[in-house]
Amino acid sequence: MKRISTWITCPIIVIGTAAIFFAMNVFTPKMSDDFYWQFISGTSQRVQSISDIFRSIYGYYMATEGTDLTGGRIAAVFFTQFFVMFDKLYFNIINTFVYIALVLLMHFHITGSIKRINYFLWAAINLFIWYFVPSWGENFLWLTGSCFWVWPTVIVLFFLVPLRNKCANPEYNLNVPLSACYFFLGVLAGLTYENIAAGVFVVLAGYFIIKIIRKQKIALFEILGMTGFLAGFVLLIIAPGNFSRLQGYEVVQQYSFFRFVITRFFITTHFFLARDGFLLTGLSVILCLELLLHQKKKISAFSFLYILMGVGSSYSMILSPVFMERAFFPTSIFLIIGFLNLFLQVEWPQMLKKHLKLFTILILLVFSASLFRAGVAIMSVHRGDTNVVGRHHGQMH
């Protein structure tokens, strides 16, 4: 009977989550850069086909004359320009599936499986995303923001799935055709976004260092995945559009490189502290100490790597002249995964286990009030109230 109840409850929870997220997308209109990406970069010609998108990406990547927005984020630009060609309803539907995919992938990386969804963990993931992503509206509901942040993060988490499996089970492997496909997935992961890719680079470096220290054999798919990622990451970093964009910032022109890095280090550290990065990292360290010193448990290497990936993705922004709130998105996601992964390994007092449902109900009540306020803000924006645009696109809770 309990198993039947679980099979009924889980789909209802997933569908309910999707319905709420879809409704919030429906009442969020196109805005800001959405209108810019309706045109081929550097021209007044509308994007009307896939070939137009590739032409636009070329101008964006190479910083051709007349192009306002430039850089190397090829995958993000492709997603954005593809969806601005159509009615936003199509994006609303697909974006909802992408959000559910993000939560499922986070669940997988936390537990190592999605065969049986833990609905308490499902609720925790959604609540942590809601409270710890500092620019929830910009990242999830804004068309350009979601295509630039959420979609690339989903690609990266999907790319890390085989490595997560390999770390948990040394016998895990991919056949030759799938290994070849993994190379191209690696390229796509490398082409996502600078600080997302930087976090993955740190993880891959740590992953292979651990394998070398342990003298473990490196599989073909691991080599091809790493090679593909590095190829994509290099293409992302060396884009002429990146250098063109950076030269537009006064701080880059005025400061020496050393002074720039030192200044940005302190600014990034302040941002990391202010956006709960230090809180999640600190709590994760405490859990590590509890597991290792008191409960005498062996911790999987990936438990550490998630935290390392979150910190790495944040501090890679030292090399950027600006650190917008929406750029903190991958840091939040990676740190949430790391914290919840460690949280589930700790043997908590019986009292906490006994009253888990009561704590859950209390948290959901608090969340419901926050969700209601966000709904009011979204409806206000939908009616054209410009006074709440800032709240809507930033922290809406």
Residue type, 126: N
- Name which residue leads in pLDDT, 299 or 172: 172
Q: Among 5-14, 225-234, 353-362, which stretch is predicted with the lowest mean pLDDT?
A: 353-362
pLDDT reading at 81 higher than 80: yes
Residue 383: CB partners within 8 Å, gap ≥ 6? none
SS3 assignment, position 355: coil
Q: Please give the structure tokens belonging to residue 250.
A: 């006064």
Rg of the Cα atoms in the chain = 22
> Angle CA(250)–CA(60)–CA(137) in degrees, nearest 5?
75
Q: Give pTM, 2 decimals.
A: 0.86
Which one, of 141, 168, 140, lies nearest residue 154 by Cα? 140
What is the sign, positive or negative, of the torsion defined by CA atoms of 224, 228, 234, 237? negative
pLDDT reading at 372 higher than 80: no
For tokens 């990622």, name the residue. 229
Residue type, 330: P
- Name which residue leads in pLDDT, 386 or 371: 371
pLDDT band at 392 (very low <50, low <70, confident <90, very high): very low
Torsion of CA 388, 389, 394, 397, to 10 degrees: 30
pLDDT band at 397 (very low <50, low <70, confident <90, very high): very low
In terms of C-beta density within 10 A (0-12 exposed, 13-18 middle, 19 or more buried), how is residue 270 classed? exposed
Alpha-carbon gap, residue 134 to 12, rounded angstroms: 28
Q: Long-range CB contacts (< 8 A, 24+ apart) of 282-288?
A: 283/339, 284/335, 284/338, 284/339, 284/342, 287/339, 287/342, 287/343, 287/345, 287/346, 288/342
Range picked from 171-175, 186-190, 210-214 for highest mean pLDDT: 186-190
Instruction: State the greatest distance between any 2 C-alpha atoms of the chain, in Å, as a whole number.
Output: 69
Per-residue pLDDT tens digits for 298-318: 888 888 899 999 999 999 888
For tokens 């630009």, name the residue. 77
Average predicted confidence (pLDDT) for the chain? 85
Per-residue pLDDT tens digits for 14-55: 889 999 999 999 998 888 889 999 999 888 899 999 999 999
Query: What are the helix (H) ranges across the chain?
Result: 2-26, 33-36, 50-62, 74-84, 88-111, 119-132, 136-140, 143-168, 176-190, 194-213, 220-237, 240-246, 250-254, 257-274, 277-289, 301-315, 329-345, 350-354, 356-382, 389-393
CA distances to 19, 20, 89, 301, 374 from 24, rounded to whole Å, are 9, 6, 12, 37, 9
pLDDT band at 251 (very low <50, low <70, confident <90, very high): low
pLDDT reading at 396 higher than 50: no
With both helix axes pointing from N to C terminus, report the angle between 74-84 and 88-111 in degrees, rounded to the nearest 10. Answer: 140
- Cα distance from N-terminal residue to C-terminal residue, the chain: 38
pLDDT of residue 282: 87
pLDDT of residue 352: 63
Q: How many CB atoms lie within 10 A of CB 360?
A: 15
Q: What is the mean pLDDT of residues 344-363?
A: 67
Domain ranges of the chain: 2-347, 355-397
pLDDT of residue 273: 84
Q: Among 32-36, 246-250, 255-259, 301-305, which stretch is predicted with the lowest mean pLDDT?
A: 246-250
pLDDT of residue 107: 95
pLDDT of residue 230: 96
Per-residue pLDDT tens digits for 136-154: 989 999 999 999 999 999 9
Q: Long-range CB contacts (< 8 A, 24+ apart) of 373-376?
A: 373/397, 374/24, 374/137, 375/24
Residue 74: CB partners within 8 Å, gap ≥ 6? 57, 61, 191, 235, 236
Torsion of CA 356, 358, 359, 360, to 10 degrees: 80
Q: How much of the chain exceeds pLDDT 90, in percent?
A: 49
